[in-house]
A and B are shown apart, each in its own frame.
Chain A
Amino acid sequence: EADIYQTPRYLVIGTGKKITLECSQTMGHDKMYWYQQDPGMELHLIHYSYGVNSTEKGDLSSESTVSRIRTEHFPLTLESARPSHTSQYLCASTGWGEDTQYFGPGTRLTVL
């Protein structure tokens, strides 16, 4: 089992609120990723990081932002949530020199 954690697991929130989705891993992995996945649809990469102070936008444009101040922590923030942000957000990590990505359990976000 991979040691990668996400909180909260489920979040229902009103439009306009600021939210932060937490992701942490205890494997010392350098690379971390955020994906967005709608039900029955494929995963879309929205952010990734190759190490502390490194963040890049992914293939799918997203209004969210990320930070990487510590190796083990890669939070995702939405400054003003909208119903279009309703989705599942999955965090993953991988060690240097590897390709296999290990996923956290995901956060299922609903914006009313």
Chain B
Amino acid sequence: RKEVEQDPGPFNVPEGATVAFNCTYSNSASQSFFWYRQDCRKEPKLLMSVYSSGNEDGRFTAQLNRASQYISLLIRDSKLSDSATYLCVVNGGNQGGKLIFGQGTELSVKP
């Protein structure tokens, strides 16, 4: 079993749709959680950190459920420019700052 597992993609959605990505992690000692965005053939870039209380940044909302070891990302009113691969990332708990990356879920927003 992978340490971080994400919904298999791709997600093909029309502009304006709401889309939700799910992620589960196996290391209960993990303390930090992130969503990164990676455009085709580019480097990953931090989209947002995920806090226990849930957090929102414009059209993006991230939720964390520690009991279920589950993380989600909701994108509202999706834009063409949201097309990318979204990576769920978890720190390795007591592994000294190493991050564990999920395999990513590809999103394609169509006009």
Q: Which A residues lie at the B interface, using CB under 8 A?
A: 31, 33, 39, 41-43, 45, 48, 50, 58, 88, 90, 94, 99-106, 108
Distance (whole angstroms) from the CB of B45 to the closest CB of chain A: 7
Partner of A50, one of B45, B96, B103: B96
- State the interface size on chain B (CB cutoff 8 A): 20
B1-57 at interface with A (beta carbon < 8 Å): 31-32, 34, 41-46, 49
Q: List 15 A-B contacts (CB under 8 A).
A: A42-B102, A43-B87, A43-B101, A50-B96, A50-B97, A90-B43, A94-B97, A99-B34, A100-B34, A100-B49, A102-B46, A104-B43, A105-B43, A106-B42, A106-B43
Given contacts A41-B103, A42-B103, A42-B104, contact A100 B98 (CB under 8 A): no
Give A63 to B43 CA distance when docked, in angstroms. 23
Complex: A31 Cα to B98 Cα, angstroms: 9
Contacts of A103 in B (CB 8 A): 43-45
A48 touches B102 (CB 8 A): no
